[in-house]
Amino acid sequence: MRFGPMGNLSHGEYIDSFTADAAAIRDVFVKAVPELSVPATPEWDLGRLVKHIGTVFVWGTAVVEQRPERVDPRSLDIGLPEERSDYGEWLVRAASKAAAVMSAADPSDDCWSWGADSHAVFWSRRLANEIGVHRWDVQSAFGDPDPIAPQLAADGLDEILENLTFRPDTDLRGVGEKLHLHATDCDGEWLITLGAEGVEFKHEHAKGDVAARATASDLLLLILGRVAPSSIETFGDVEQLDRWQQRLKF
């Protein structure tokens, strides 16, 4: 069963994706030191970033286990190791438990979420997209990162845009400014409009005030402030891309 707009992965594909990315992060972590700087998350070193990822996994797993009840993440014992050098293996264990719990759940089960979709698949999707970006962050701190897979990156863009209205820290109201994104490695186009009530988006080819054309991975990383507009093909008022990045970076 698939949910949401075009290009989404299945529940099982999300689970496979986040399991593989957890292992990839662990493989980098064991070769580095927890104090390694991560350019994409300058306020967090490698250890703090991996702690964040694992904490999200523990929370998402608990929410699906206790569906449809809401779970306060502050109430959870995340089982964090005393030694920061053990965080990589801890993350893999957290991802493994998430995979087991979510594989046993029907993706259409009612489940609390903070976003637009109140089904168990919200969390397999959220974890896959969360760790997909942060796997890139971790690898980029250690060398040349692997791109995010095209379909996952396209889905990540959809997920961000679908859930922006549920992020109280993000003000994306405007007067009709339009951004067009065109993926070169999958069937993905987005026309994003900033209106008085917030963001609206459609999957269509249309002219925007500014446009960007690149792989789906680079488009997602662009929107999240991890890739500079100068590194990809752009058209129109490029300064608007800077404003988008400032508003959406996390």
CATH of the domain at 39: 1.20.120
Per-residue 3-state assignment (H helix, E strand, C coil) for 86-110? HHHHHHHHHHHHHHHHHHHCCCCCE
Final residue before a domain boundary, out of 146, 179, 203: 146
Residues 46 and 89 both lie in one domain:
yes
Residues 119 and 187 both lie in one domain:
no
**Containing domain of residue 192, as a range?**
170-248
Per-residue confidence (pLDDT) for residue 2, from 0 to 100: 38
User: Per-residue pLDDT for 5 more than 90?
Assistant: no
Percentage of the chain beyond pLDDT 90 is 82
Per-residue confidence (pLDDT) for residue 142, from 0 to 100: 86
Residues 21 and 94 both lie in one domain:
yes
- Distance CA(79)–CA(60), nearest Å, equals 15
Alpha carbons within 13 A on the beta-carbon side of 77: 2
Final residue before a domain boundary, out of 99, 131, 146: 146
Nearest Cα neighbor of 181 from 160, 195, 165 is 160
Residue 154 belongs to some domain of the structure:
no
Two structure tokens written together for 234: 């752009």
User: Per-residue pLDDT for 73 more than 70?
Assistant: yes
Q: Residue 190 belongs to what H/E stretch?
A: strand 189-195
- Distance CA(106)–CA(11), nearest Å, equals 9
Each residue of 179-232: pLDDT tens digit?
999 999 999 999 999 888 888 899 999 999 999 999 999 999 999 999 999 999
Q: Pick the range with the lowest mean pLDDT from 48-62, 106-120, 158-172, 220-234.
A: 158-172
Any idea which residue has 């002219």 for tokens?
207
Structural domains counted in the chain: 2
Two structure tokens written together for 56: 């999200």
Residues 140 and 32 both lie in one domain:
yes
Total length of the chain: 250
Residues 32 and 141 both lie in one domain:
yes
Residue 178: C-alpha distances to residues 167, 169, 172, 201 (Å): 20, 21, 12, 9
Residues 118 and 217 both lie in one domain:
no
Instruction: Please count the other Cβ atoms lying within 10 Å of the Cβ belonging to residue 24.
Output: 17
Report DSSP state, residue 42: T
Q: Read off the pLDDT band of 250 (50, 70, 90).
A: low
- Distance CA(232)–CA(242), nearest Å, equals 13
Backbone angles phi, psi at 110, to 5 degrees: -60, 135
Two structure tokens written together for 179: 């951004």
User: Per-residue pLDDT for 23 more than 60?
Assistant: yes
Report DSSP state, residue 208: -
Residues 134 and 193 both lie in one domain:
no
Strand order across the 189-195 sheet: 198-202, 189-195, 177-183, 210-214, 233-236
Pairing of strands 177-183, 233-236: unpaired
- Distance CA(78)–CA(97), nearest Å, equals 12
Buried b (16+ CB within 10 A) or exposed e, 123-145: bbbbbbbbbbbbbbbbbbbeeeb
Nearest Cα neighbor of 199 from 176, 227, 220, 218 is 176
Final residue before a domain boundary, out of 111, 146, 181: 146
